[in-house]
């Protein structure tokens, strides 16, 4: 059996995290290296490596992640807006092979988000 990802270990409570939401399909917790005043990761309980490996059977859980991110944003008071980011693969900056949505807010953000 493969080693658990960091996020699977958070879900199993083997690694501490500041959890802001939890239900039967996902967990949301504060990023330990925040890139904005509010930086929350919304992670499915099902260990899907990334968007590129998700299947049609994952459609409901992927939609659920976005709805949970919106609910957490409301609870966090992000009334002026927020950004949702999903990285896929190492060139996109994905460092944990378990799909997750970054909820970023609490400050104005520019566009494009990164310099190339």
Q: What is the spatial distance between Cα 82 and Cα 90, in angstroms, rounded to a whole number?
A: 24
pLDDT interval class at 112 (50, 70, 90): confident
Q: What is the spatial distance between Cα 95 and Cα 89, in angstroms, rounded to a whole number?
A: 8
Where is average pLDDT lowest: 19-28, 34-43, 67-76, 103-112? 103-112
Kind of pairing, strands 19-22 and 38-44? Answer: unpaired
Q: What is the pTM of this model?
A: 0.93
| Across 22-37, average pLDDT | 97
**Domain 6-105 class, CATH top level:** alpha beta
Catalytic residues: 100
Tally of CB atoms within 10 A around 73: 20
Q: What is the spatial distance between Cα 62 and Cα 99, in angstroms, rounded to a whole number?
A: 9
**Which residues on adjacent β-strands are paired with residue 41?**
29, 102
Please tell me the predicted confidence (pLDDT) of residue 115. 55
Please tell me the predicted confidence (pLDDT) of residue 113. 77
């Amino acid at each position: 059996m493969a080693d658990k990802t960091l996020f699977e270990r958070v879900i199993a409570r083997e690694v501490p995290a500041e959890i802001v939401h939890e239900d039967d399909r996902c967990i949301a917790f504060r990023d330990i290296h925040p890139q904005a005043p509010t930086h929350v990761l919304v992670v499915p309980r099902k260990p899907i490596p990334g968007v590129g490996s998700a299947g049609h059977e994952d459609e409901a859980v992927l939609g659920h992640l976005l709805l949970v991110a919106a609910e957490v944003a409301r609870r966090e008071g992000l009334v002026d807006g927020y950004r949702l980011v999903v990285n896929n693969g190492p060139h996109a900056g994905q460092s944990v092979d378990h799909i997750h949505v970054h909820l970023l807010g609490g400050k104005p953000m520019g566009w494009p988000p990164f310099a190339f």
